[in-house]
Amino acid sequence: MTQYERFLDTFFNPAVMAQYFPKIVEGLLVTCQIAILVVVSGILFGLALALLRSYRWAPVNLVIIFFVDIFRALPPLVLILILYFGLPNVGLTMSGYIVLWLVLTCVLAAFSEEIFWAGILSVDKGQWMASRSTGMSYTQTLLNVVMPQAIRLTIPPLTNRTIAITKNTALGMVIGVDELLNEATTAQAFSGNATPLMMGAIAYLILFVPVVYLGRYIEHRFAWRKV
Amino acid sequence: MDALLQQFFNFDIMMQASPIILRGFGMTLLLCLVVIPMGLLGGLAVALASLSPIRAVRWTTIVFVDLFRAIPPLALLIFVSAGLPFADIRISPFAAVCISFLLNNSAYYGEIYRSGIESIGSGQTDASRSTGLSATQTMAYVILPQAVRNVLPDLVSNTVEVVKLTSLASVVAFAELLYAADMARSVTYNASPITFAAVLYLIVLWPVVRLLSRLENKIEN
Amino acid sequence: MSYGKLEVLRGIDIDVMPSELVFVIGPSGSGKSTFLRCCNRLEEPATGEIIVDGTSITARGADLNAIRRRIGMVFQSFNLYPHLTAGGNVMLALRKVLGKPKAEARLIAEAALDRVGLADKIDNYPNQLSGGQQQRAAIARALALEPKIMLFDEPTSALDPELVGDVLNVMAELKKAGMTMVVVSHEMRFAKAAADRVIFMDGGVIVEQGAPADLFANPQHQRTRDFVRQVEH
C-alpha cells in the first residue's frame, strides 16, 4: 500500500463509512434535537429573567444576578458532572439527556438574560416617558415600546452566543448521551479506524457551518457599531 | 436537606481531596498561561491575515475561521487526540489540548481583533501615512492600540471562555482541575470534590464576570 | 485621476512656487480634496506626474514614506491619534520614521506645539482639547517633520465658528514664515487676506485661477461667478 492509500484506508475507509453511517446520522439527529430544545428553552428563560429584572424588585434581582453570574462563570462540564453524578445519590436520577439539556438551558438563559438586559437599558429614557405619558402601564410600555427596540440590538450578540452554547451539546459524550460526538468516538473504538471521526467532523461542519454563516449575515445586517 | 449537604458540600471529603484538587488547580493555571497567550497571538495573526491585501490569503483565513468556529471545541480536541495517532503522530494530552485550543481560540480571538481594527476610521491611517509611517508601522503604533482598547471587553470575555474551556482537557486525561476533582469524585462516590473545583473556578472567574457585566451595562448607558 | 470607475480629476496641471499659498475653492464634489490627497499619494492618480521639491513622487519605486514626511497634511477631522497625548502625536513619526531618540523627539515636539500656542498641552490627550486646539496639535504634528510643503484639507470646516480664528492665525503665521501651502477651504476672507493665488475647481477640472483680488472681484467664467456670489452671501 502506498502512503496515500494507507491514508485513505485510515481516514476515508468506504467499508467503515457504510457500516457506521446510520449511527452517525442517528447521533446527528440527537444533537439537532437537543440543540433546538436548548435554544428555545434557554432564550425564553433568559428573556423571562430579563423582563422580570426590569421591574427592579431588589430581592428578585439579587437572585437573578446571582444565577446569571454563576452560570456565566462556571464551565458547563463542571455543572454537568455535578448534576449527573451527584443527584442520584440524593435520590434524584436524571438521564444524561435531561442533565445536558438542563445545564445548557441554564447557561444560555444566563447569557441571554445579560444580552436582553443590556438591550433594555439601551433604549432611551425618553421612550419610557413618551409611552407612560400616553397612559400606558409599565408592563405595556415594556412589551410594546421598549422590547421591540431592545430585541433588534440583541440579535447579533445573541446569535453568536447561542451558536457557541449550542456546540456544547458535544459535552453529552462525557455522560453517555448518544449524540454525534459520542457515536463517532464509539464507532472509532469499535472499528479501530479513524474514519468515523472524519464522518463526525464532517457532520458537525454540515450542521454548524450554515449556522456560523447565518451569524455572520445577521451581524452585518443588524450592525450598529459606532464608526 | 442533610443528604444534599452530605452529597455536595461534604467538608471532610473536600479536605481529604484538597491536595490532589489543588495540584489540578495549579495545572489549570499553567494551562491557561500557555493557551491564552497562544490564542491571543494566533488570533492577531488570523486578524491581520483576514485583512490582507491578497485575496487568496483573505479567503483562506475566512475558511479557517469559519471551520474552527463551526466545530465544537470538545469535538476538535477529541479528533486531534484520537485522530492523530492514526496518522502515526503520537502526542501527549497536553500537546493535543494546545493544538486544538490554538485552532479554536485563534478563530475566536481573530474575529474580535478584526472587528476592532475595522472600527478604526480611515482618517487615522491617512494621518499616519501622511507623516511617513509605513503600513506596518501604522498598524502597530496607530491602529492596533486603538483597536485593542475598543474591543478590550470582548477580549476579556473571550478569555473567560478560554479559561472555562480548559476544563475540557479532563476528557483527554490531562490532569487539570476538573480531572482531579472527578478522580476524587469517583473514589469517594461523592460530588463534593467537584463542588470544590466549582468554587475554585468561581474564585478566579466570578470577579471577572462581574466586572464584564458592569462594563457592558455602563457602555449601554 | 480616476476613482473606482468614476473619473474625478482631469487635466490638472499646476505649479506651486516655493513660499506660495495656493488656495483651492469649489463646490463640494468638485475634486478639491481628491486633488490634495493625490499630492502625497494617499489617493493613487491613474496617470500623470507629481513632482515635489524636485523628486517625482509618482515615479515607480519612489520612497513614498520618505517623501510623505516632507509633505505635511492637515485634515478636516483632525485625525489625531486618540490613544496618544498631543506630544505623543507629534513624536510618533519623529521616533519611528526619523529614528530620533525620545528626549530629542520631545524637544522637537515642545517646539512644534509652542509654535501653535499649545506648549502647555503637551501631555493632554486629544479628548481633553477643544476642536481648535486639536486642529492646532495636528498642524504641529505635521510641522515637526519640517515639511517642504503643507496641505490643508478643509482645516476649519469641522470647527465651531468661535474656534476658527485660532487655526487661521496659525496658518497666517506659517505663511509669514515662508511655508509653501496648498489650502482647500471655504474661508473666503482668509483667502483674500493671505492667498497668493486662488484656484477655482468644478467637476474635476480647474475652471479658472488668479490672484484673489482678481478672481473674487472679476471672475471670468459663469460657474466661478455663480460660486463666488453664492459663498459671499
Distance, CA of C91 to CA of B154 (rounded, Å): 31
What confidence tens digit (pLDDT) does each residue in A61-118 have?
999 999 999 999 999 999 999 999 888 888 888 899 999 999 999 999 999 999 999 9
User: Is B in contact with A (3 or more beta carbon pairs below 8 Å)?
Assistant: yes
Contact assignment for C73 to B123 by CB distance below 8 Å: no
- Average predicted confidence (pLDDT) for chain B: 91
State which residue of chain A sits closest to B10, comparing Cα positions.
Answer: A86
Contact in structure between C197 and C20 (CB atoms under 8 Å): yes
Distance, CA of C49 to CA of C85 (rounded, Å): 37
Map residue A13 onto helix, strand or coil: coil
In this complex, which of C37, C68, C82 lies closest to B131 when CB atoms are compared? C68
Q: Please list the alpha-helical segments (H only) found in B11-87.
A: 11-50, 55-70, 73-83
Contact in structure between A128 and A141 (CB atoms under 8 Å): yes
Residue C39: DSSP 8-state: T
| Band of residue A4 on the pLDDT scale cut at 50, 70, 90 | confident
Supply the pLDDT for residue C4: 39
Query: Residue B66 above 70 pLDDT?
Result: yes
Query: Residue A224 above 70 pLDDT?
Result: no
Query: Residue C226 above 80 pLDDT?
Result: yes
State which residue of chain A sits closest to B121, comparing Cα positions.
Answer: A227
Contact assignment for B124 to C68 by CB distance below 8 Å: no
| Band of residue C129 on the pLDDT scale cut at 50, 70, 90 | very high
State which residue of chain C sits closest to B128, comparing Cα positions.
Answer: C93
User: Is B in contact with C (3 or more beta carbon pairs below 8 Å)?
Assistant: yes
Supply the pLDDT for residue C1: 38
Query: Residue C2 above 50 pLDDT?
Result: no
Query: Residue A130 above 70 pLDDT?
Result: yes
* Mean pLDDT, range C163-171, rounded to an integer: 92
Helix pair angle (B11-50, B192-220), 10° resolution:
40
Contact assignment for B149 to C73 by CB distance below 8 Å: no
- Average predicted confidence (pLDDT) for chain A: 89
Contact assignment for B8 to A168 by CB distance below 8 Å: no
Distance, CA of B97 to CA of B80 (rounded, Å): 8
- Average predicted confidence (pLDDT) for chain C: 88
Query: Is residue B104 within a helix (H) or strand (E), and if so which, with residue range?
Result: helix B93-118
Supply the pLDDT for residue C217: 87
**Cβ contacts of residue B81 below 8 Å, gap of 6+?**
B91, B93, B96, B100, B172
ipTM reported for the complex, 2 dp? 0.89
Percentage of chain B exceeding pLDDT 70: 98
* Mean pLDDT, range A39-61, rounded to an integer: 94
Size of chain B, expressed as the number of residues it contains:
221
Supply the pLDDT for residue C233: 63
Measured in angstroms, the CA of B189 and the nearest CA of chain A are apart by 8
Supply the pLDDT for residue B221: 42
* Mean pLDDT, range A2-8, rounded to an integer: 82
| Band of residue A223 on the pLDDT scale cut at 50, 70, 90 | low
Q: Which residues of chain B neighbour C83 with C-beta distances below 8 Å?
A: 145-146, 149
* Mean pLDDT, range B125-137, rounded to an integer: 92
Supply the pLDDT for residue A227: 30
Query: Residue B220 above 50 pLDDT?
Result: no
| Band of residue C73 on the pLDDT scale cut at 50, 70, 90 | very high
Percentage of chain B exceeding pLDDT 90: 74
Contact in structure between B20 and B83 (CB atoms under 8 Å): no
Please tell me if residue B120 touches chain C, with a CB cutoff of 8 Å: no
CA A90 to chain centre: 28
Cα four-point dihedral sign B103, B106, B109, B114: negative
In this complex, which of A70, A121, A194 lies closest to B83 when CB atoms are compared? A194
Size of interface A-B (CB pairs under 8 A): 154
What confidence tens digit (pLDDT) does each residue in C15-67 have?
888 999 999 998 888 888 888 888 888 888 878 888 888 888 888 888 888 88
Q: Cell 488570523 belongs to which residue?
A: B46
What confidence tens digit (pLDDT) does each residue in B92-126 have?
999 999 999 999 999 999 999 999 999 998 999 99
Supply the pLDDT for residue C8: 65
Please tell me if residue B149 touches chain C, with a CB cutoff of 8 Å: yes
In this complex, which of B165, B198, B202 lies closest to A82 when CB atoms are compared? B198
Q: Cell 447557561 belongs to which residue?
A: A107
Distance, CA of C122 to CA of C90 (rounded, Å): 9
Q: Which residues of chain C neighbour B129 with C-beta distances below 8 Å?
A: 42, 65, 68
What confidence tens digit (pLDDT) does each residue in A137-163 have?
888 888 888 888 888 888 888 988 899
Distance between terminal CA atoms of chain A?
Answer: 59
